[in-house]
Amino acid sequence: MQSSFIEVKNVTYKYDEDVENQVAINNVSLSIEKGSFTVILGHNGSGKSTLAKLLNGMLKPDKGRIVIDGLDTSKTENEYEIRKRLGLVFQNPDNQIICTIVEEDVAFGPENLGIEPKEIRKRVDEALSLVGMSDFAKAAPHQLSGGQKQRVALAGILAMEPECIVLDEPTAMLDPIGRKEVINAITRLNKEKNITVILITHFMEEAENADRVIIMNKGEIVADSEPLKVFSMSDVLKSSGLSLPQTTELLTLLKNGGLNVNSGIISPKGTADEIFSVISGR
Amino acid sequence: MSILKTKNLSFTYPQISSVHHATINDISFSLDSGETIGIIGHTGSGKSTLLQTLNGLIKPDSGMVFLNEKDLWENPKEIYQKRFKVGLVFQYPEYQLFEETAYKDIAYGPKNMGLSDEEIDLRINEYSALLGITEDNLNKSPFELSGGEKRRVALAGILAMEPDVLVLDEPTAGLDPIGRTMLFNAIKEYQIKTNAGVIIVSHSMEDLSKMCDKLLVLSGGEIKKFGSVKDVFLDSAELNNLGLDVPMVTRVMLELKAKGLDIRSDIFTVDEAAKEILNFFSQSL
Ligand SMILES: Nc1ncnc2c1ncn2[C@@H]1O[C@H](COP(=O)(O)OP(=O)(O)OP(=O)(O)O)[C@@H](O)[C@H]1O
Ligand SMILES: Nc1ncnc2c1ncn2[C@@H]1O[C@H](COP(=O)(O)OP(=O)(O)OP(=O)(O)O)[C@@H](O)[C@H]1O
Ligand SMILES: [Mg+2]
Ligand SMILES: [Mg+2]
């Protein structure tokens, strides 16, 4: 019986067979419910991208097992069905964008799924509009700015309409408003269409809407809980090389300074509300 | 003294990617030795294009770039040498990494400058340590590095050329907090040692407020504002219109002010904000 959408059981992965001490993923177990929103944080080289590639079957576990919607990723015959269900947006859009025209590139995924042309047209237009790139449909990818490429790569996966999307730092090159737009779009897909989301990021504040936050450290999961709980684990954060968003940091300083505020808040507005209500005597 | 200056710089890509004009238009600004300027602007506003005119990767259609008061293009055959003086770190580190090992990648620039192997080795060790690149990773192929590890190697490769002007295109994107702090410190240390001018493009208003003397705001390829960090962050509504924002803690202060508290909002760091709020609280008791 499989109750969750993703089951990762005691998975270990090593890039280089020969090197004894270098394990990219070390005995990781994890299960992800359908329709949930999970954020993964962790230092550079902690294994986030490796885990993402293990989930979509690009890499196969050396030890342990990964099952996506009942399909074992180490069986080659499952590859196609897994890609259909789980879409991975790569950390570097250049690794993903292959066609010479933006709209063809976005259509590439759905075409491979055997979707009919009329439906593809509709999905491509919708996906490009969702990421704000409709004006660039006919452009060549090499003519795009860094952030524009990142948006197109995201559109390519959205157009496949997978049940689960894994996003590897999708907002790293976006301006602040663009970042909010993309996070909002992803959150809407999760809430309205029940799409399972796994978001890898270095921006803690993007974890605000998540059901769950996972922290990776040297190939292992060292924390896994709801956002506010994880953000209050200052020892784990510190030993994992992470730092709090400015807002949480500010609230912590105020608390230490004698102001009786709740320090587990992330949004600037929520932070201001909390400070205001304490200052004005609740 | 101005180390890098642009005058009425304009450029349009020969093939335009969309209905929007792919240009930078009439850009004039000046960077002093030892100074750090941050460039902010929405996606597609022309930041990377502007940076590439500064080291001669793109030749402007009109206008001029001056390096140490001399026309960058005075002798087009020597433009290659100018790239040792104006070191540009690309937005995607992959564009810069192609050697067999990370070590060789960092050595690439210094080698082309004609430095001795001994000097190169010294520099690689120095800048790798400064950016937290491990011995293990120096021996790996750049393709075997994680995103943030690649970025560190790309940065080290440019620092190792010890350029007069350091031009960084979103250098903190993909770096973890420790990597970001190391980068800030590396740049500061480098600036103290060499008095280099630094230009940083970034979408992190938090990072820029820590690092920069001045900010330049680009929109649609034009300069919308150029001034001190304080001046630029003062107009948060205008920044929002341009797809940008103020640092998170400034946003908190603005919200508090909007609620009617008589509190300062020209604050960009957490420490300052905490001080101001605690101060306000103790006075209102
Ligand atoms: N193709 C590869 N060959 C060998 N080692 C690799 C390869 N890709 C990654 N590694 C190593 O595996 C470890 C985990 O890398 P991974 O890319 O999963 O990290 P990450 O958490 O995504 O980091 P970042 O935040 O920098 O993107 C790192 O030590 C990295 O050097
Ligand atoms: N090679 C090219 N040919 C044609 N147009 C281009 C080319 N490179 C960039 N452009 C266009 O020029 C504009 C400016 O691009 P640029 O890369 O300078 O933006 P940017 O400010 O760095 O954006 P980002 O924050 O997304 O990196 C964009 O609209 C882009 O589509
Ligand atoms: Mg990664
Ligand atoms: Mg750019």
B184-212 residue pLDDT tens: 999 999 999 999 999 999 999 999 999 99
- The beta-strand segments (E) located in A33-140 are 37-42, 63-68, 71-72, 86-89
The stretch B222-233 carries a mean pLDDT of 95
Regarding whether A270 and A170 lie in a shared domain, the answer is no
The stretch A220-240 carries a mean pLDDT of 92
Using the predicted structure, report yes or no on whether residue B61 has a pLDDT greater than 80: yes
Cβ-contact A191, A140 below 8 angstroms: no
The ipTM value here is 0.91
In this predicted structure, which of A113-127, B11-25, B182-196, B207-221 has the lowest mean pLDDT? B11-25
Regarding whether A60 and A166 lie in a shared domain, the answer is yes
Summarised one tens digit per residue, pLDDT across range A65-115 is 999 999 999 999 999 999 999 999 999 999 888 899 999 999 999 999 999
Q: Is B39 left (phi over 0), alpha (psi -120 to 50) or beta?
A: beta
Nearest residue (CA) to ligand 1, atom 16: A47
Instruction: Give the atom of ligand 1 at the shortest distance from the alpha carbon of A16.
Output: 4
State whether the beta carbon of B15 lies less than 6 angstroms from ligand 2. Answer: yes
CA distance from start to end of chain A: 50
Which residue's structure tokens are 């000097």?
A: B119
pLDDT recorded at residue A183: 94
The stretch A260-281 carries a mean pLDDT of 90
Regarding whether A269 and A222 lie in a shared domain, the answer is no
For the domain spanning B2-229, the CATH number is 3.40.50.300
Task: State the count of interchain CB pairs (< 8 A) between A and B.
Answer: 158
Residue A112 within a domain? yes
> By the CB < 8 Å criterion, does B141 face chain A?
no
Regarding whether A146 and A15 lie in a shared domain, the answer is yes
Regarding whether A50 and A100 lie in a shared domain, the answer is yes
Residue A237 within a domain? no
pLDDT recorded at residue A3: 67
As a whole number, the mean pLDDT across chain B is: 94
Regarding whether A166 and A122 lie in a shared domain, the answer is yes
Regarding whether A165 and A58 lie in a shared domain, the answer is yes
Total domains, chain A: 2
Which of A48, A176, A249 is nearest residue B270 as measured by Cβ atoms? A249
State whether the beta carbon of B145 lies less than 6 angstroms from ligand 1. Answer: yes
The stretch B65-82 carries a mean pLDDT of 95
State whether the beta carbon of B47 lies less than 6 angstroms from ligand 2. Answer: yes
Q: What single letter denotes the amino acid at residue A143?
A: Q
Burial environment of residue B235 by CB neighbours within 10 A (0 to 12, 13 to 18, 19 or more) = middle
pLDDT recorded at residue A2: 46
State whether the beta carbon of B116 lies less than 6 angstroms from ligand 1. Answer: no
The reply to whether residue B278 touches residue A258, judged by beta carbons under 8 angstroms, is yes
Q: What is the helix, strand, coil percentage profile of chain B, to 5?
A: 45, 20, 30
Residue of A nearest to B137 (CA): A45
Quickly list H helices, chain B.
47-54, 79-85, 102-112, 117-131, 135-138, 147-159, 177-194, 205-211, 229-234, 236-241, 248-258, 270-284
- Set of chain A residues whose Cβ sits within 8 Å of the Cβ of B169: 146
d(CA B83, CA B72): 10
pLDDT classification of A21: cutoffs 50, 70, 90:
low
The stretch A147-152 carries a mean pLDDT of 95
As a whole number, the mean pLDDT across chain A is: 93
- Which residue segment(s) compose the domain that A178 sits in? 4-227
pLDDT classification of A1: cutoffs 50, 70, 90:
very low
> By the CB < 8 Å criterion, does B284 face chain A?
yes
Regarding whether A254 and A219 lie in a shared domain, the answer is no
Q: Where are the domains of chain B?
A: 2-229
Regarding whether A252 and A165 lie in a shared domain, the answer is no
The reply to whether residue A175 touches residue B19, judged by beta carbons under 8 angstroms, is no
Task: Tell me, rounded to whole angstroms, the distance of Cα B13 from its chain centroid.
Answer: 22
pLDDT recorded at residue A208: 85
Residue A148 within a domain? yes
Q: Which of A206, A275, A280 to mutate to test the interface with B (most CBs of B within 10 A)?
A: A275
Instruction: Give the atom of ligand 1 at the shortest distance from the alpha carbon of A50.
Output: 18
* SS3 per residue for B105-162: HHHHHHHHCCCCHHHHHHHHHHHHHHHCCCHHHHCCCHHHCCHHHHHHHHHHHHHCCC
Q: What is the pTM of this model?
A: 0.94
Regarding whether A112 and A177 lie in a shared domain, the answer is yes
Q: Is the dihedral of CA B232, B238, B242, B244 positive or negative?
A: positive
* Alpha-carbon distance values, A173 to A52, A145, B16, B163 (Å): 19, 10, 21, 25
pLDDT recorded at residue B21: 65
Task: Tell me, rounded to whole angstroms, the distance of Cα A237 from its chain centroid.
Answer: 19
Using the predicted structure, report yes or no on whether residue B174 has a pLDDT greater than 70: yes
pLDDT recorded at residue B273: 96
Cβ-contact A41, A214 below 8 angstroms: yes
Q: In terms of Cα–Cα distance, which of B58, B62, B32 is closest to B46? A: B58
- Set of chain A residues whose Cβ sits within 8 Å of the Cβ of B179: 43-44
Regarding whether A220 and A148 lie in a shared domain, the answer is yes
Regarding whether A122 and A90 lie in a shared domain, the answer is yes
Summarised one tens digit per residue, pLDDT across range A30-60 is 999 999 999 999 999 999 999 999 999 999 9
CATH number of the domain enclosing A92: 3.40.50.300
Work out the percent of chain B whose per-residue pLDDT is above 90.
Answer: 89
> By the CB < 8 Å criterion, does B43 face chain A?
yes
Indicate the length of chain A as a whole number.
282
